[in-house]
Amino acid sequence: MGHGLSCSRDGDEHDFFRAAQAGDLDALEGLLAADPALARRATIYDRLTALHVAAANGSLPVVSMFLARGVRPDVLSRSKQTPLMLAALHGNIDCALALLAAGANVRADLKAATFFICPIP
């Protein structure tokens, strides 16, 4: 995504978001085994979850793992973007399809989002 992930609260959280960005499923599973609450944490400033980060970076195995753990597919970032929006914006079709299959709402808060993926009739 091009953004550094330095705005995290501690070392484990920083490692967690780095692993999501890199698509490192083994590291994520290890960190989640030690602290399952990490799955629902967000970065401090942008409020991006690891699901946002994985979707934007096209890591289908990581997206699928978070969805299987019950992370909501429509969670909003600070700028009202969903993981589905970021997957589509970055051309990660497999991730977008997985999010849709998990119930992501294609119309989720589009009026408040800072960009649009496509016009909705």
pLDDT tens digit string along 39-51?
A: 989 998 899 999 9
With 60 as the cut, is the pLDDT of residue 94 above it? yes
The sign one gets for the Cα dihedral 69, 73, 74, 77 is positive
The answer to whether 45 and 7 have CB atoms below 8 angstroms apart is: yes
Is residue 47 within 8 A of residue 78, CB to CB? The reply is yes
Once rounded to an integer, what is the mean pLDDT over residues 8-22? 84
> Which structure tokens are listed for 110?
């589009």
pLDDT at 106: 84
Please, what are the domains in the chain? 11-101 (1.25.40.20)
On the question of pLDDT at 13 being above 90, the answer is no
**Which is more confident, 2 or 34?**
34
Q: Which of left, alpha, beta for 95 (phi over 0: left; psi -120 to 50: alpha)?
A: alpha
* pLDDT for 121: 47
What single letter denotes the amino acid at residue 74? D
* Mean per-residue pLDDT over the chain, rounded: 85
Please give the C-alpha separations between residue 13 and each of 8, 44, 80, 81, in angstroms, as whole numbers: 6, 11, 22, 21
Q: What's the predicted TM-score (pTM) here?
A: 0.80
pLDDT band at 111 (very low <50, low <70, confident <90, very high): low
| C-alpha 85 chain-centroid distance | 10
